[in-house]
Amino acid sequence: MRMRIEWPTLGLLTATYVVWALAIFWLATISVLLAITVTALALTLHSSLQHEVIHGHPFQSRWLNACLVLPPLGIFVPFHRFRDTHLAHHRDSRLTDPYDDPESNYLDGGDWERASAPVKWLLTFNNTLAGRLIVGPLVGFGFFLRSDWRSRSEASVRMGWLVHVPLVAIVLAVVVWSAMPIWAYVLSCYAALSILKIRTFLEHRARVLARERTVIVEDRGPLALLFLNNNLHKVHHMHPTASWYSLPALYRRNRARYLEANGGYRYRSYGEVFAKYLLRCKDPVAHPLWRRN
């Protein structure tokens, strides 16, 4: 049984807000570059904590959990849209599907063939880790906006943006009041999305068996903390309500089981991922197993 109040998560969230405030109000008076770096790290952790909230932490109250992370410090993605699309992504039978998985990085083969040469170049570059870091946030946010625009008649989509826009205005007003320039804060938000792209770069692969589509990255360094152990992604998908701090122990106790379940889709660390894929595509843009008739 989970703790009624998950104090590690609540404490980490409090620390994240404190670090964010110190970065924009104090560190920015010392060094804008240092403030950008620390702010980006705080925003990355805040996004990871939003992910925890989506899966029912740290309280048992969904409403109270949402209130904890509702401030859109990262400014780009509405929390309610993140919640809805991520929960849709957790239908494992649809993982990597270009149409039914909102977080898929694959295109339908026909869509790929119809794309222009510049778009093909951009998306191919985006499928290297360097590309994912440099243009990945722009590409991902562009696809996200296009999808929401096409779904603008849905009440949940409209409400997500109606809540998000005034909250972003409040966050930016606080930044204007702080010592951090707006351009530096926006750069921090982009950098945070770039860091998160390291995690999502190879979380899922195209495979016939749904259980073999989700990765394990056995990293225990700073990125694992920023991602709240979501690098053990197969463990998270098999136990989506498990807290971030319980995932490593779950994996240690059942390592062989998880690796058998995901077909051995494993990397030792993010260092290995960078060495293999910084300048090389891991996957094709077109889904190798899916094509709409």
Summarize pLDDT for 107-161 with one digit per residue, the tens. 999 999 999 999 999 999 999 999 999 999 999 999 999 999 999 999 999 999 9
- Region 263-289: mean pLDDT is 97
Instruction: Output the pLDDT for position 162.
Output: 97
Instruction: Output the pLDDT for position 292.
Output: 73
Averaged pLDDT of the chain: 96
Instruction: Output the pLDDT for position 293.
Output: 61
Residue labelled with tokens 């320039």: 181
* Separation between Cα atoms, residue 112 and residue 4, nearest integer Å: 48
Is the predicted pLDDT of residue 72 greater than 90, yes or no?
yes
* pLDDT tens-place string over residues 14-50: 999 999 999 999 999 999 999 999 999 999 999 999 9
Is the predicted pLDDT of residue 229 greater than 70, yes or no?
yes
Instruction: Output the pLDDT for position 290.
Output: 78
Is the predicted pLDDT of residue 2 greater than 90, yes or no?
no
Please tell me the pTM assigned to this model. 0.95
- Region 212-238: mean pLDDT is 97
